[in-house]
């Protein structure tokens, strides 16, 4: 019985390790829109590990987020960064592009996931950072 339990735990452990939708979100404890963005991810099937940070600026530097692309929260999935209010759809699309080291929605545009304010919709771009450090437009809204 003990052996059976142990093998069951091993199997579920493996399943968890390969769960493609686990994401680590790092945020300031006082950030409300960060919490709303986490809800957006969870509604779209992500499992979120929520990390409260004292110094987001240092965390962004350590994670390799270019300063000019900074937003509020910084997430990490598959060893790649997600900066700011990037949609779940764009995160999933990034997974098909191995050369991208991260995606960013700089600032906090109104109408992005977690930044909803009625019908207001700022135009904004999702920026991809490539392995060589170059940046390109990955997607844009509307
Ligand atoms: Cu925000």
Percent of the chain with pLDDT over 90: 85
What local confidence, expressed as pLDDT, does residue 20 receive? 65
What local confidence, expressed as pLDDT, does residue 118 receive? 95
Q: Catalogue all structural domains in the chain, each as residue range(s) with its CATH number.
A: 20-141 (3.40.30.10)
Torsion angle (degrees, nearest 10) of CA 115, 118, 119, 123: -20
Q: 19: CA distance to ligand 1 center in Å?
A: 26
Q: 71: CA distance to ligand 1 center in Å?
A: 7
Q: 37: CA distance to ligand 1 center in Å?
A: 8
Mean pLDDT of 135-140: 98
Q: 15: CA distance to ligand 1 center in Å?
A: 32
pTM (two decimals):
0.85
Q: How many CB atoms lie within 10 A of CB 80?
A: 19
Q: Which residue has the tokens 């950072």?
A: 129
pLDDT confidence bin for 18, thresholds 50/70/90? very low
Torsion angle (degrees, nearest 10) of CA 24, 40, 112, 34: -50
Q: Are 117 and 111 in contact (CB under 8 A)?
A: yes
What local confidence, expressed as pLDDT, does residue 19 receive? 52
Q: 99: CA distance to ligand 1 center in Å?
A: 26
Q: Are 91 and 77 in contact (CB under 8 A)?
A: yes
Residues β-bridged to residue 129:
102, 135
Q: 63: CA distance to ligand 1 center in Å?
A: 18
Q: Which residue has the tokens 């949609």?
A: 87
Per-residue pLDDT tens digits for 35-93: 999 999 999 999 999 999 999 999 999 999 999 999 999 999 999 999 999 999 999 99
Q: 5: CA distance to ligand 1 center in Å?
A: 43
């Amino acid at each position: 019985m003990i052996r059976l339990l142990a093998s069951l735990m091993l199997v579920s452990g493996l399943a968890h390790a390969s769960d493609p939708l686990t994401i680590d979100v790092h945020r300031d404890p006082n950030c409300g829109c960060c919490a709303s963005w986490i809800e957006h991810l969870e509604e779209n099937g992500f499992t979120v590990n929520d990390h409260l940070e004292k110094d987001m600026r240092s965390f962004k530097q350590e994670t390799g987020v270019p300063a000019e692309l900074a937003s509020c929260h910084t997430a990490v999935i598959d060893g790649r960064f997600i900066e700011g209010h990037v949609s779940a759809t764009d995160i999933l699309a990034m997974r098909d592009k191995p050369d991208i080291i991260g995606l960013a929605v700089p600032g906090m545009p109104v109408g992005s996931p977690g930044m909803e304010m009625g019908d207001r919709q700022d135009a904004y771009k999702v920026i991809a950072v490539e392995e060589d450090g170059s940046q390109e437009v990955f997607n844009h809204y509307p």
